[in-house]
Each structure stands twice: as structure tokens, then as C-alpha cells.
Structure 1
């Protein structure tokens, strides 16, 4: 079993030249291509019904976006990670760039773009669960040209992590360039077989799996059905119940530690960022998922997305 120190931290990072006689380490273990948003969060005792008004908490603003979240989750754990994305020319853009830089994410490919930054409006219920509306802003302008300009960098990374808060054509272009693709199909949408075929793994939660597969089902059965769609491997996340890993010929259930959930915002991104990093370090998929489940569990113990993401010492006891 992995522990929060020692094996959990993985091998010490190599210098740019690696060990003598070995292939030089890439400049980044993983690259995230994706969205950068300001999360506007209001806590409520219950969500309003159509036409109803409820009183919530004071508005809190946090750095977020699925791409940025995954990059921060990995960086806090020790990854060498770069983010390819766009932020706007508004005050949120400056706020988001500063937050990412403070967590050690490389921002050389984060482009300042005239227009509004992406924004997510999030309501968090008394049970810690959330509902989210995303306004993409300049995230919608991340383009195939951006991917082409970064093609050598993307090809050099061990893992490229992708989501769907960026245009689908951009995501597909990035997948064509990557050595290994970790793809979180969120928000869920129809995607081409070409993209599914290079996912290793495809990562979805129960709701996303149900939309892909036409309805809910037993988790291990759903995981096998996801694999049958064409990805090289698949991970079905189950919230407090952990995850199920599907690889050719093998399905593995991975339990989660029990924690008291304060806010589940960004937990899936924490999971995926941790998963992508451990795969980049050479873990097998089941072991990487076991680590990522603990990171996801740790992230729900505090409010916000990136602000809740753990450092290695925060995983002790999980």
C-alpha cells in the first residue's frame, strides 16, 4: 500500500539531463491544455426551484477552470507541469495568472487575450455538492493554431491532460500531438472516435458515463462498457466510493478513504491532475488511480477548488 511519504512522493525528479546514459528528461512531465476560470461561489442551504429566490452566503471568488485546476493539483504534488490556455484582459485574468504562478505552474504558453476571462458560477449546497454554470470567455478562443505553435512541447511531455472546457477541435488537435492522452470528458459531449481511440485513460464520473452509455448501471459493468467505446483504458470515478479502472481484460475497483465533505468543487480535477502526474512518473493505471482517489478525497475537506488541493503532507492518514 502506498503511504503519504516515501513511495507516495515517487522517484526524485531528474535534472534536465537525466542520469548519465539515460534519455534526457522532458522539460515537463505533463502539460495541461484547457480552461482557466474565475470561480464565483455562493453557499446555500438549498438550491432554488425555478422562479424562486433563496438567500446565500457572501460571494467568494477562487481561481478555477478545469485545465488550471488539473495543473495546480499536479504542481502542488511536485509535478513539473505547464498550462496551455488563455486568460482575458480583465481583472480576473491578472488574478488567475498570479494564482497559477504562485503554485508553480509554468505559464509560458498561457496567452493574455483581449476580452473577458472564463467565469464559473457555482452554488454549493449544505451537503457540499455543487451546481456549476460556465461562461467560457476567452477559453473559447484557444485554437488549433495554439496547438500547432506548441506542437514540439506537447510531443515532448510524457502525458498531456485534456478536458472539454476548450473547443473540441482544439482538444482533438492536442490529442493528435500527444505521446499519451489523459482525457476527462467533462463537460460531457459527443466526441469523435479518433479522440476516444487515443485516450489512455478516458476519465468520466457516473453522470458523464450515463450520458455516454445511454443510462446508469453497475459501476464495473459501466467501466467495461466505456472501454468498449474504444479508449485504450478507462477510469470511472464514483465520488466517495472511489473509482473503477478498466483495462483490456481487467477491471479493478479502487476504494476511497472516508472524509467529511465540505465542498466537492474541483474534486474531479484534483483526481485527474494527480492521475496524469503519476502516469507521467511511470505508475501503472491502477496504482495511479489509487493515489488520485486519495488526492480527490483530500480536496473535498476545504472550500474552493484550487485552494483545497493537497500538498503531499496533507495526504498523511488517508
Structure 2
């Protein structure tokens, strides 16, 4: 197996007002990293049901490579409601296939050949998938770039899981609302946003911390460096998957050796474009893809 970029965790269907669309943060990440020319792989699990077959068919159509064992649980779905600004709220079904990702020999081999990994807290809500994610992390090479896209949803997270994941990550990606939650959970609610970021960066020995603040722009913090980018004003179709496209573009650019401010600028432009499209996996324009060599 060649060196791969992996999105590991939930693969599910976002049931939007206009119909269902394939999603899940790790699968979205793998899709966008693949668009930038990387060997990418989405790792999750699907049910032995019609929706499971449809999931794999859809990945095949979009050219996404995957390792998705069939398990005896339903394929995951999420009910998505959009507000007037196109911002989603989620009702995420429990006890589904991606809660039960087995650690197969094929998945272990992918870990041993992993160049970059994106994982979150959501798929660690269940013990089976949490153990698989931990085993995967343990099996990756020392130089694997590990991105913890925290992705706090509903009440599907614990302080223990977050702390353990932070200790294993090189990059933390978090949004402004999640940062407030982390501040409360970890007992430093009085600090302002930037100081919370610097504190997390130092305390967990992170290489970078990416903070997204919706229409208020985004930041990348690294030792001795801070990058800020405004959010472009665009006609929003929906924001589903925009954050995952940001992560996929940013990781692709960093792996290609692009300086942090340039990688940050590209990631912002990619996610802004995804906001103008329906669903999490639109095809990106060639002029964006060509910026990563």
C-alpha cells in the first residue's frame, strides 16, 4: 500500500430538506484530500442494508477509495435542519454502523502506511469505534500528521476522550463555539479566545491549532506564528461539509510544504466555495486545486 491520507470515523447520510446526501466529517475530509491529488482513504463501517450499498456506490461514483466493513447495524443517518442562513443543526442516530468500526487487518495496514490522519470525537462516542481509532493511532508511523478535528456534536463527547485525543494530535481544529465548550469543560472559561488557543497549543504540545469562527474569519496558531484570514462573502447554499473541505485543503497544502499563511488562505477559499454548493462533496474548481503542487 502507498502512503495514504486517511479520514477515520463516521460515514453517514445527511438527510437535508432537499433530500439525502452522503457525508460524515472523515469521509468528507478524504474526498477533498483526494481532489488535491493525494492517495486518500475513507475508513468507517456500513450496514448490511440498502443504504450501506448506496453508500459504497456513491463513494465509487465520486472516486473516493474506502475501507468500510459491513457490520450488523444500520447505516448511519443524520436529520439536518437548516436555519435561514443555511447553518445546520443535527439529530445524529445512535447505535449505527459507524459506532461499530472493527479493527481489521486491512485497516491496520492502512494505519502503518498513513501519511496524515483526520479523526474526531464523534466516532469515539462508542467503545468499539473508539478502540479502533486508538489502535489506528498507535499503529501509525512516527511522522504521520495527526489532525484532531474535534467536531463536538450534541452530548457525544467526554473530557477524557478529548484529553486523550489532544495528547495524540499534531493539529487541533476547533470552531469558536466548541472553544467555549472546551473552556468550560477544562476550567478556564475566563480566558479570551486567543489566550485559550495559545494555552491549548502549549499544554498539549501541538504543532498547530486551527480556529474557525464562521463569518468572523479563522485563525491558525503555531509556535511564534499567528495567521488570520477573513471569511469571503459568498451566496451560501448550505455550510454542510465546509469545515471538512477546509481541513482537507489545509492538510494537503501543509503536506506539500506550503507555508502556513498560504495553506490557510487556500483552505478558506476552498471552504467558501463549498458553501456555495449543495452538500458536503462538490467538485472543486481547477484553479483552487492547481494551487497545491
Shorter-chain TM band: 0.7 to 0.9
Question: Is structure 2 residue 140 aligned with structure 1 residue 165?
Answer: no
Residue matched to 1:186 = 151
Q: Deviations over 1:132-181 (max 9, x none)?
A: 111141100014x34x6533322322211112232233333322233220
Structure 1 pair 119–312 and aligned structure 2 pair: CA distance change class (3 A): same
Selected match of 1:299 from 264, 270, 274: 274
Alignment of 1:1-318 (within 5 A): 27-42=2-17, 59-107=18-66, 109-136=67-94, 137-143=96-102, 145-146=103-104, 149-167=106-124, 168-178=130-140, 179-187=144-152, 189=157, 190=159, 191=161, 193-214=163-184, 215=189, 218-232=192-206, 233-306=208-281, 308=282, 310-313=284-287
Q: CA deviation at 1:117?
A: 0.4
Q: CA deviation at 1:63?
A: 0.7
Q: CA deviation at 1:250?
A: 2.3
Aligned residues: 271
Q: CA deviation at 1:217?
A: 6.3
Residue matched to 1:51 = none
In structure 2, the gaps of 5 or more residues are 125-129
Q: Is the 8 A contact 1:163 1:171 kept in 2?
A: no
Once residues 273 and 67 of structure 1 are traced to their aligned partners in structure 2, the CA distance between those partners, rounded to angstroms, is 9
Q: CA deviation at 1:251?
A: 2.1
Q: Is the 8 A contact 1:63 1:99 kept in 2?
A: yes
Once residues 175 and 236 of structure 2 are traced to their aligned partners in structure 1, the CA distance between those partners, rounded to angstroms, is 17
Once residues 283 and 174 of structure 2 are traced to their aligned partners in structure 1, the CA distance between those partners, rounded to angstroms, is 20
Return 281-290 or 198-207, whichever deviates more. Answer: 281-290
Residue matched to 1:8 = none
Structure 1 pair 312–231 and aligned structure 2 pair: CA distance change class (3 A): farther
Task: For residue 123 of structure 2, give the secondary structure of its aligned residue in structure 1.
Answer: coil
Once residues 165 and 172 of structure 2 are traced to their aligned partners in structure 1, the CA distance between those partners, rounded to angstroms, is 10
Task: For residue 43 of structure 2, give the secondary structure of its aligned residue in structure 1.
Answer: strand
Once residues 113 and 164 of structure 2 are traced to their aligned partners in structure 1, the CA distance between those partners, rounded to angstroms, is 21
Structure 1 pair 276–220 and aligned structure 2 pair: CA distance change class (3 A): same
Larger Rg, first or second structure (1 or 2): 1
Once residues 37 and 248 of structure 2 are traced to their aligned partners in structure 1, the CA distance between those partners, rounded to angstroms, is 11
Q: Is the 8 A contact 1:77 1:312 kept in 2?
A: no
Once residues 269 and 229 of structure 2 are traced to their aligned partners in structure 1, the CA distance between those partners, rounded to angstroms, is 10
In structure 1, the gaps of 5 or more residues are 1-25, 43-58
Q: Is the 8 A contact 1:220 1:251 kept in 2?
A: no
Q: Deviations over 1:70-101 (max 9, x none)?
A: 11122233322011111112221122111212
Once residues 19 and 259 of structure 2 are traced to their aligned partners in structure 1, the CA distance between those partners, rounded to angstroms, is 38
Return 217-226 or 87-96, whichever deviates more. Answer: 217-226
Runs of 4+ residues deviating >6 angstroms: none
Q: Is the 8 A contact 1:85 1:111 kept in 2?
A: yes
Q: Is the 8 A contact 1:76 1:310 kept in 2?
A: yes
TM-score normalised according to structure 1 size: 0.77
Once residues 192 and 272 of structure 2 are traced to their aligned partners in structure 1, the CA distance between those partners, rounded to angstroms, is 22
